[in-house]
Amino acid sequence: MWGLKAYIKPYWKFVMLGPLFMLFEVFFDLLQPRLAAYIVNSGVVERDLSLIERVGCLMVGVALLSLVMGVGCNLFASRASQNFGADIREVLYKKIQTFSFENLDTLKTGSLITRITNDVVQVQNLLQMALQGLVRAPSLLIGSVVMALLMNLRLGLILLGTLIVLVVVLFGLIRFSFPLFSNVQAKLDAVNTRIQENLAGIRVVKAFVRNDYEKKQFKQVNSDYTRVSIRAARFIALNSPIVSLIMNACLVAILLYGGNLVWMNTVQVGDLVAFINYVTQVLSSLLMVSGLLMNVSQANVSAKRIHQVLTTTPKIENRMAESSSPILGQHIKFNHVDFTYNGSDELQDKVLKDITFEAYRGETIAIIGSTGSGKSTLVQLIPRLYDVTSGSIQIDGNDIREYSLLELRHSIGMVLQDAFLFSGSIRDNLSFGRLNATQAEIEEAAKMAQAHDFITRLPDGYETKIGQKGVNLSGGQKQRLSIARTLLIKPPILILDDSTSALDLGTERRLRNALKEVMEENMTFLIAQRISSVMEAQKIIVLEEGSIVGIGTHEMLLETCEVYQDIYRSQYGKREAYYGSTQSFSSK
């Protein structure tokens, strides 16, 4: 929790005023038993009704002042804690935005959601309790013990002995509960991850009739979470009974011994009544302290998890200053690039191995290969969604690591394999990368992506609202909107990562024809599964198990690359090659 103190500083006035008001409240609460003792000793015993009235009115006034101080403390504590929690959530969100794909792979989406919600609530509640309960409980405890000792030392020693026993018991409970709270948060991560994955893939679950399987999986993680939570709750549940048992035993001992002292006229009845009140206040403050210490233990786990995110260094180092020359996208060079997800140099871990090629503006570089050959990983290295493990990638003669991430990614338009759309209107989604785009520019991009016609047929056209991830659109429609969104920013480097897989051949052909002008002006990387999508590219790169096994034009690869021939054969059978080839490679 101490590692988050910087986020408390902006609200130091509230942090100071809250405990100050609470101290005044405790002072007024400690005054009440003294006044009650005075009424009994000097009013009730002496039968002085006027004194009882005067002191009674004073007690009412003290109670009202205590109420005002308590409300003031609550207001200041709430302002401080709520703002503290909001700031941490915002900082966490901003921090997560800086993470590379590798960071996100390590920390997991479900865990990050838990940290930005549940863990933040834990530390936020702890701050509020600290400004209220952690001030009130110890102050009331110490004040009550001091007042009790001042009233009668012999009875006070009984109370002190009881407190020593309670401290030892509570220390043991907290020591054993701390690892349990860590385990509880880890199990909650697993529950959130399972929920997040299931909701994201609910259509797949229903399509494959895996509802029962998913229910069993969720039941397992939910049972694990419940089991650990119950174990932790047992320790929390032990607090109140143990404290009550010990303090009630103390109360009985004080009543027996104190009653004997009253019988012997050593102690006045009013003093014994006041002493019992102080013991009751000690009991209530101890119950509060024990509960707060458990909350501190739990919130400390959450604070450590938050601190882990805040201190995580993004795997991709961002050069903050922009380079002197803008990125024109004239030339890209992959120079002996290797990549592994875990940073290992072992050959068996390498997803990409010794990737070397060059591309120039105006070229379309198609990348084809079997599933898992590293096609998407290769293009994700260009905008530094991942960083190369060894080797380098240069744009316009400069290593891409010398550009700021903002500068680099502004110059690259990428249509991802998963056509992700946000909740909102079609216009909002299309202008996601260029908020100041005019309607004419939006429509031009949509026409080029072959999306304008179906958009205008929708009830509200470009203002039509789409659900989360575009649930009310077909796969092909989502892909065309994703392509239009990227075309609108007019990047010098365009990456199409299998972005036409859901389109029919006719729509794909019209799209390719519409993109010809763009491709002639830009450098385009095109990942596709179909030979028909890549055969017109100036350069085709064939990947197999992370290595380049062929590079050249369609005709060249039909003659020289066995992997390309196999892909062609799987899609077209044993027909003659395109472009009037007189020799069938299938006979080789």
* Distance in angstroms (rounded) separating the CA atoms of residues 340 and 352: 7
Residue 574 predicted with pLDDT over 60: no
Mean pLDDT calculated for residue range 506-529: 85
Cβ atoms within 10 Å of 6's Cβ, excluding its own: 10
pLDDT tens-digit readout, 519-541 = 888 899 999 888 888 888 899 99
Element (H, E) at 331: strand 331-339
Going by their DSSP bridges, the two strands 364-369 and 352-360 should be labelled as unpaired
Listed range (190-194, 285-289, 481-485) with the worst mean pLDDT: 285-289
**Would you state the pLDDT for residue 417?**
76
Q: What is the mean pLDDT of residues 201-225?
A: 78
Please say if the pLDDT value at position 145 is more than 70: yes
pLDDT exceeds 80 at position 305: yes
Residues paired with 466 in a beta bridge: 424
pLDDT at 577 exceeding the cut of 50: no
Q: In whole angstroms, give the CA distance from residue 18 to residue 490.
A: 55
Name residue 287's amino acid: L
- DSSP state string for 287-316: HHHHHHHHHHHHHHHHHHHHHHHHHPPPSS
User: For the residues 504-531, what does the mean pLDDT come to?
Assistant: 84
Report the range of poorest mean pLDDT among 121-135, 243-257, 366-380, 538-552: 243-257
Q: What is the pLDDT of residue 366?
A: 92
SS3 414: strand
In the prediction, which pLDDT does 333 show? 94
pLDDT at 585: 37
Q: Report whether 131 contacts 19 (CB < 8 A).
A: yes
How far, in Å, CA of 588 to CA of 579, rounded? 19
Per-residue pLDDT at 407 exceeds 50:
yes
**CA–CA distances in Å: residue 7 to residues 135, 296, 428:** 20, 18, 34
> What per-residue confidence (pLDDT) applies to 547?
92
Mean pLDDT of the region 236-251: 74
Structure confidence at residue 337 (pLDDT)? 93
Q: Give residues with Cβ within 8 angstroms of 200, minimum separation 6.
A: none
Q: Is 456 left (phi over 0), alpha (psi -120 to 50) or beta?
A: alpha
Reported confidence tier of residue 576, pLDDT bands at 50, 70, 90:
very low
The SS3 of residue 581 is coil
Confidence of residue 347 (pLDDT cuts 50, 70, 90): low
Structure confidence at residue 392 as a pLDDT band (50, 70, 90): very high
CA angle 362, 364, 366 (to 5 degrees): 165
pLDDT of residue 542: 93
Judge whether residue 207 has pLDDT over 70. Answer: no
pLDDT at residue 356 greater than cutoff 60: yes
Q: Which of 362, 318, 405, 356 is nearest to 492 (CA)?
A: 362
Average pLDDT over residues 40-50: 72
Average pLDDT over residues 359-379: 90
pLDDT band at 578 (very low <50, low <70, confident <90, very high): very low
Residue type, 231: R
Residue 279 has pLDDT above 70, yes or no: yes
Q: Positive or negative CA dihedral for 465, 467, 469, 475?
A: negative
Amino acid at 529: Q
The structure tokens listed for 293 are 């210490």
Instruction: Read off the pLDDT of each residue in 474-483 and give the average, rounded to a whole number.
Output: 87
pLDDT of residue 533: 83
Contact between residue 374 and residue 341 where contact means Cβ atoms under 8 Å apart? no
All structural domains of the chain:
2-311 (1.20.1560.10), 331-411+491-587 (3.40.50.300), 422-485 (no CATH)
Mean pLDDT of 392-412: 89
C-alpha to C-alpha distance for 378 and 366, rounded to whole angstroms: 12
Residues 6+ positions from 560 with CB-CB distance below 8 Å: 550, 552
- As a whole number, the mean pLDDT across the chain is 82
Question: What's the pLDDT at 353?
Answer: 92
- d(Cα 336, Cα 278) in Å, to the nearest integer? 78
Which pLDDT value is given to residue 184? 77
Q: Environment class of residue 553 by beta-carbon count within 10 Å: exposed (0-12), middle (13-18) or buried (19+)? A: middle
Q: Rounded to whole angstroms, how far apart are CA atoms 451 and 419? A: 14
**Alpha carbon of residue 418 to chain centroid:** 22
CA 507 → CA 210, 503, 511, 516, 533, distances in Å? 34, 6, 6, 14, 12
Sign of CA dihedral 418, 422, 425, 431: negative
pLDDT of 586 over the 70 cut? no
Distance set, CA 119 to CA 98, 125, 561 (Å) = 20, 10, 55
- Cα 416 to its chain centre, rounded Å, is 23
Residue 395 binned pLDDT confidence (cut-offs 50, 70, 90): very high
Q: What is the pLDDT of residue 320?
A: 60
pLDDT band, residue 131 (cuts 50/70/90): confident
469: left (phi over 0), alpha (psi -120 to 50) or beta: left
pTM over 0.85: no
Helix (H) or strand (E) run with residue 525 in it: strand 523-527
Q: Torsion-angle region of residue 569: left (phi > 0), alpha (psi -120 to 50) or beta?
A: alpha
Q: Is 358 helix (H, G, I), strand (E, B) or coil?
A: strand
- At residue 500, does pLDDT exceed 60? yes
Q: Which two tokens stand for residue 13?
A: 């006035």
For residues 199, 200, 202, 205, the Cα torsion angle rounded to the nearest 10 degrees is -120
Q: How confident is the model at residue 285 (pLDDT cuts 50, 70, 90)?
A: confident
For residues 259-268, give the mean pLDDT: 76
Q: Which of 232-236, 248-252, 455-459 has the lowest mean pLDDT?
A: 232-236
pLDDT for 335 equals: 94
Which of 477-504 are b and which e, b meaning 16 or more Cβ less than 10 Å from the residue's Cβ? bbbbbbbbbbbbbebbbbbbbbbbbbbe
Q: Which residues pair with 399 in a beta bridge?
A: 394
Number of other residues whose CB lies within 10 A of the CB of residue 209? 8
Task: Average the pLDDT over 62-85 and give the result.
Answer: 89
Q: Which phi and psi angles does 335 have, rounded to 5°?
A: -120, 95
Confidence of residue 200 (pLDDT cuts 50, 70, 90): low
pLDDT at position 122 over 90: no
Count of alpha carbons within 13 angstroms of residue 222, beta-carbon side: 8
Strand partners, 540: 366, 552
Q: What percent of the chain has pLDDT over 70?
A: 90
Which helix (H) or strand (E) covers residue 557, if one does?
A: helix 554-560
406 pairs with which residues across the strands? none
